[in-house]
Structure 1
Amino acid sequence: MSSTDVRGPFQWTVAVPLATVVLLAATWANHEHWLVLVLIALGLVGGIIAAVHHAEVVAHRVGEPFGSLILAVAVTVIEVGLIVMLMTSGGDGASTYARDTVFAAVMITLNGIVGISLLVGALKHHLVSFNPSGTGSALTTVVALASLTLVLPSFTTSGAGLEYSPSQLAFAAVASLVLYAGFVFTQTVRHRDFFVPVSSDEYGSMTGLLGDEDGDGHADPPSGREAWLSLGLLTAALVSVVGLAKLLSPTIEDAVRSLGFPYAVVGVVIALLVLAPESISAIRNARRDRVQTSLNLGYGSAMASIGLTIPTIAIASIWLDGPLVLGLEPTQMVLLAITVVVSVLTVAQGRAKAQQGVIHLTLLAAFLFLSVKP
């Protein structure tokens, strides 16, 4: 049976989304017992994995680069739902959840997903190749988005502290949507060929496009019926994930507080949880020498995390009480700056060795360590 087959009532890909919906309905009114919280946590993880699986099924049906786009948007919907649910629950860290989660997603994608993809691909294939034109434009868009939404609030004077004023937040939200929409048009319409996997010679130099979808180790594309079924199950999984996250959010905050960690760790936990299945997808593509697809996933997720999350949070802030802190702290800005410089040097070559992957993963480790011990 192919990896994208969702037929049959006993397939986990069908059972898990339906089970999470039932779990959400059954525990919505009463979820204080520790055993119920364990079931909710397991359901949340299962729902996320199922959601990403069904996004991949739909993505496989439509092909690249639309597939990476669908997967990135699906993951971002989960992320936005988790952020909004945590912010509505209140708590001392509610004002910074959006910033901490988005920044964590950027660092995990630019260093984690990209780093592990380059390392795995290069260890197996010696050198990996990708199109620097497409990947470079994706990285540029991510840098612009991060600068507008996470860096500038630390230097403006109209808002209090590290916040944007209402008009500045509205501008940043619109600018984020424009940048994201512009990139999507470039990726899917204007220059689609810049984002499809490439072939390479023995020196890792790009020689052409990999256009044979059926000859690269993939399962056959799913039928239209399977794709529509996955779309429905994807919707069910997303709804259940957001609801279960709402029920589990007080427990996450209590755990972080009891361990004595900074509230920023909550954002890191959310980002790691949401992006873990997508990281697996990127690793699978890297092993098949399709690093371009892995980079599409990484940079696309970073882009969607900012370009879709910030406008949504900006709208939600109209109804949410309390401040919305978006500006990065000095240590975070330094980590972001180092990541941008390293990413530019990695992308500019159009090919990479395992060392580039090690460098990115080291930066990710530094980010994780300094999040716990700032």
Structure 2
Amino acid sequence: MVTRLRALGMQWTTVVPLLAVVLLVFTWGRDLPGAIVAVVTLILAGAVLAAVHHAEVIAHRVGEPFGSLVLAVAVTIIEVALIVTLMADGGDKSSTLARDTVFAAVMITCNGIVGLCLLVGALRHRVAVFNPEGTGAALATVATLATLCLVLPTFTTTKPGPEFTTAQLTFAAVASLVLYGIFVTTQTVRHRDYFLPLTKQGEVIDADSHAEGPSARDAKLSLALLGFALIGVVGLAKGVSPTIESGVESAGLPHAVVGVIIALLVLLPETIAAARAARRDRVQTSLNLALGSAMASIGLTIPAVAVASVWLSGPLVLGLSSTHMVLLALTVIVGTLTVVPGRATPLQGGVHLVLFAAFLELAITP
């Protein structure tokens, strides 16, 4: 019976990503009626769950923090492709799409996912324990990238409006890649132990030394299927984006809400994976996923849109409004106070979730 259930699980996690890609081929660039949108949404949800499954298989094979890095980078690369595609199709009205989506990703990861995981971990295990050295380094990198790429354009004076000049945008893109590269090297090579889960006594848990992972063949298959699942998730999300945009316009909501919804859809696999890790008392893994995703969203998106701006028409608005800058500053301050002790109670999780709720409220009613 157990063998049959496992076989059934392997079947759906194999079939759904492939089905998502096939559906994407037949729906790409077409106006979808309501019934097809419902089917696409259902397959999209299945692809999200399949992506989480395959990401966990890969993480079990390669160990932490490589597993969370694989998922974060894979999702972000495809997210960047989605942003650039939507910007190319949207004209002037998409000039703020990159900013809105990246900032939404930062708030979702640094407040939504972090808050959820701290709350789940602390409620289930009394106290959520993590390594402040690795988590603090990740938060500092996210704060630096966000300030360089999303705050400074509001205050530069060479070009009118919250935009960078070509030279400034080039500097921000190069600086983003350099910082992200240094962080990945630190996380995976020089100080890998800073990003491994801890026991409540502060001892490092290296899963590689305790559990036998899946075979190399299974890991390679999961890597391929993870790619199909993520392509399906992001591509199908683009397919339903006209429905999202029309719904946002019909409801009289700001256009920035589109970026928030896209970021929520794209980050859903990481949210589920992070919450499941927190339930297993692997809060450090959850924070690796959350902050790594925020970092990748900025560190890979800004260089990509900088290159794309060469052929894209219209302005590229990156500077945040004063309201969003206040939210970002508060997120960094609260995040720092959360990280320093290396332990969190449900209170810290609740504080981050309230900040996330405030972001959603202000996105709807600015």
* TM-score, scaled to structure 1: 0.91
Match of 2:49 in 1: 49
Map 1:218-297 onto structure 2 (within 5 A).
Answer: 221-297=213-289
Q: Is the 8 A contact 1:2 1:220 kept in 2?
A: no
Map 1:54-93 onto structure 2 (within 5 A).
Answer: 54-90=54-90, 93=93
Q: 2-side partners of 1:172 and 1:29: how far apart? A: 32
Return the match for 2:296 from 304, 325, 330: 304
Q: 1-side partners of 2:302 and 2:262: how far apart? A: 16
Q: Is the 8 A contact 1:86 1:249 kept in 2?
A: no
Q: 2-side partners of 1:235 and 1:2: how far apart? A: 28
Q: 2-side partners of 1:195 and 1:252: how far apart? A: 37
Q: 1-side partners of 2:239 and 2:117: how far apart? A: 34
Match of 2:316 in 1: 324
Q: Which amino acid in the other structure matches residue 340 of structure 2?
A: A
Match of 1:204 in 2: none
Map 1:1-374 onto structure 2 (within 5 A).
Answer: 11-28=11-28, 30-90=30-90, 93-201=93-201, 207-213=202-208, 221-374=213-366
Report deviation, 1:221: 2.0
* TM-score, scaled to structure 2: 0.93
Secondary structure, in 3 states, of the residue corresponding to 1:281? Answer: helix
Q: 2-side partners of 1:356 and 1:242: how far apart? A: 31
Secondary structure, in 3 states, of the residue corresponding to 2:267? Answer: helix
Q: 1-side partners of 2:359 and 2:61: how far apart? A: 36
Report deviation, 1:118: 0.9
Give deviations 1:327-369, integer Å, cap 9, x for gaps.
0000000000011100001101111111111111110110000
Report deviation, 1:91: 5.5
RMSD: 2.2
Report deviation, 1:313: 1.3
Unaligned runs of 5+ in 2: none
Report deviation, 1:172: 0.4
Give deviations 1:124-159, integer Å, cap 9, x for gaps.
221122111111101100000001100000001122
Q: Is the 8 A contact 2:153 2:318 kept in 1?
A: yes
Report deviation, 1:80: 1.4
Secondary structure, in 3 states, of the residue corresponding to 2:199? Answer: strand
Q: 2-side partners of 1:174 and 1:261: how far apart? A: 35
Identity of paired residues, percent? 63
| 1:242–1:291 Cα change, 3 Å | closer
Q: Which amino acid in the other structure matches residue 345 of structure 2?
A: K
Unaligned runs of 5+ in 1: 202-206
Report deviation, 1:212: 4.2
Query: Which shifted more, 247-256 or 350-359?
Result: 247-256
Query: Which shifted more, 340-349 or 227-236?
Result: 227-236
Q: Which amino acid in the other structure matches residue 164 of structure 2?
A: Y
Secondary structure, in 3 states, of the residue corresponding to 2:314? Answer: coil
Q: 1-side partners of 2:10 and 2:50: how far apart? A: 14
Q: 2-side partners of 1:327 and 1:344: how far apart? A: 23
Query: Which shifted more, 279-288 or 89-98?
Result: 89-98
Query: Which shifted more, 94-103 or 273-282?
Result: 273-282
Q: Is the 8 A contact 1:65 1:196 kept in 2?
A: yes
Q: Which amino acid in the other structure matches residue 200 of structure 2?
A: S
Report deviation, 1:160: 2.8
Q: Which amino acid in the other structure matches residue 208 of structure 1?
A: E
Q: When you count helix as a share of all residues, which structure comes out higher? A: 2
Give deviations 1:142-188, integer Å, cap 9, x for gaps.
00000110000000112230111111111100100000000000000
